[in-house]
Amino acid sequence: MSVKYIPEPFRIKMVEPIKMLTREEREQKIKEAKYNTFNLKGEDVYIDLLTDSGTNAMSDIQWAGVMRGDEAYAGGRSYYNLVEACQDIFGYEFIQPVHQGRAAEKVLFGLLLEEGQYGISNMFFDTTRAHVELTGARALDCVVEEAKDPSHRAPFKGNMDVKKLEELINEHGKEKIGVVVMTITNNSAGGQPVSMQNMKDTAEVCKKYGITLVIDAARFAENAFFIKQREEEYKNKSVKEITKEMFSYADVFTMSAKKDAIVNMGGLLAIKDDAELYQLAKGRTISFEGFTTYGGLSGRDLEALAIGLYEGLDENYLEYRNGQMEYLAARLDDAGIAYQSPVGGHGVFVDAKALLPHIPSNEFPGQALAIELYKEAGIRTCEIGSYMLGNDPDTGEQLQADFEFTRLAIARRVYTQSHFDVMADALIAIKERADEINGYRITWEPPVLRHFQASLEPIK
């Protein structure tokens, strides 16, 4: 193993006890959960890698901000602190807090999309795709081809396929394209970054056809860090400078602030300069989230978010965070376990199709591996593949994903090197008995976002 674990750029001053159940207990717990990791109780999980959303450890400065939060229903000080931070970092005029990212999508997409239209993205993640479809529109993915080969190493596998984007616009007609969404980093493609050049090229196409360009900004700081590392023109720029330029090419952004802003709850909808769109968004926010100056959040949440946006840009922290992913990836390289490479910014996306080649996509190898990780070491993870993708909204047929990943999403400032070794050792142990693992079938599913609630059973 050639990668050294980067020391934490912080000290630990509070801990939360966790426990490891026995193998027999874990097997019973996952059975009771109907083989859906979302149904497990948190207290029955040893290492929780289900998501990096809202699972982060806030700093002492953020906790101090919690105590300073202004709980005024309208016009609280903490709201104005957040607006000031967002305008400084992103350069957008209109800032609307909401309680999380999917709330921003609900407010925005109802204004930009309608039945019969399309949204195009470098890749839609689950809730974003659902909110497109809930408007009656349809979601089209347009990621570069190299992203679809996990073993192929390329610096910006999250990029939009700009040629294909223009072809889709011309195929469907520009009036039918309600929105183009650039997801940074590209979660569904394995936490892969988008280059600044690709952002510029995508913006040019959107401007040419008069289409609104939205950034899904959940992991904006990680994406900016990758640009600094991998795009020669930006190696001497700060992450904050890179962020401001990246956002200058879009018209709107939505953000789940539960990721790179390192808070447990919060989201943003920001509009660069369209006062009319902002006025409409404020009306929907009042209906869905609460008054505009709190947007479904308490004052203490707003205060912690204003601080966390800056902490997420700290380059010592980002080097450490990226180093955690590199460390785990290096251990998997040594063991011959495939993943979306190079490793992404917020997690390691293990290639379950490669690890369990005997399980077809319609028996969900990514979910099978997630279940085995819980049985093996009490690790809770999430499938990113055909199980999550679901069924065609028009035909009801099972869709086949481009990838069959099991995502190990790493909470920020939470786990140590020893925990990463447990993750690697568990995957190595599973690889040794991979041919004994079977797939799963769905016994019940809801019509939308099924992976959160579906029941499964093993195929004998």
Active site residues per annotation: 73, 125-126, 216, 218, 259, 451
**Dist. CA 221–CA 430, nearest whole Å:** 33
* Residue reference for tokens 């976002």: 449
Q: Scanning the structure block, which residue is given the tokens 């917020």?
A: 346
CA distance 370 to 272: 40
Residue 46 identity (one-letter amino acid): Y
Sign for the CA dihedral angle at 15, 262, 157, 242 comes to: negative
In the chain, the amino acid numbered 73 is Y
| Three-state SS annotation for the chain | CCCCCCCCCCCCCCCCCCCCCCHHHHHHHHHHCCCCHHHCCHHHCCEECCCCCCCCCCCHHHHHHHHHCCCCCCCCHHHHHHHHHHHHHHCCCEEEEECCHHHHHHHHHHHHCCCCCEEEECCCCHHHHHHHHHCCCEEEECECHHHHCCCCCCCCCCCECHHHHHHHHHHHCHHHEEEEEEECCECCCCCECCCHHHHHHHHHHHHHHCCCEEEECCCHHHHHHHHHHHCHHHCCCCHHHHHHHHHHCCCEEEEECCCCCCCCCCEEEEECCCHHHHHHHHHHHHHHCCCCCCCCCCHHHHHHHHHHHHHCCCHHHHHHHHHHHHHHHHHHHHHCCCECCCCCCCEEEEEHHHHCCCCCHHHCHHHHHHHHHHHHHCEECEEECHHHHCECCCCCCECCCCCCEEEEECCCCCCCHHHHHHHHHHHHHHHHCHHHCCCEEEEECCCCCHHHCCEEEECC
What's CA 63's distance to the chain center, in Å? Answer: 24
Q: For residues 125 and 119, what is the distance between their CA atoms, to the nearest angstrom?
A: 12
**What is the rounded distance in angstroms from the CA atom of residue 414 to the CA atom of residue 323?**
14
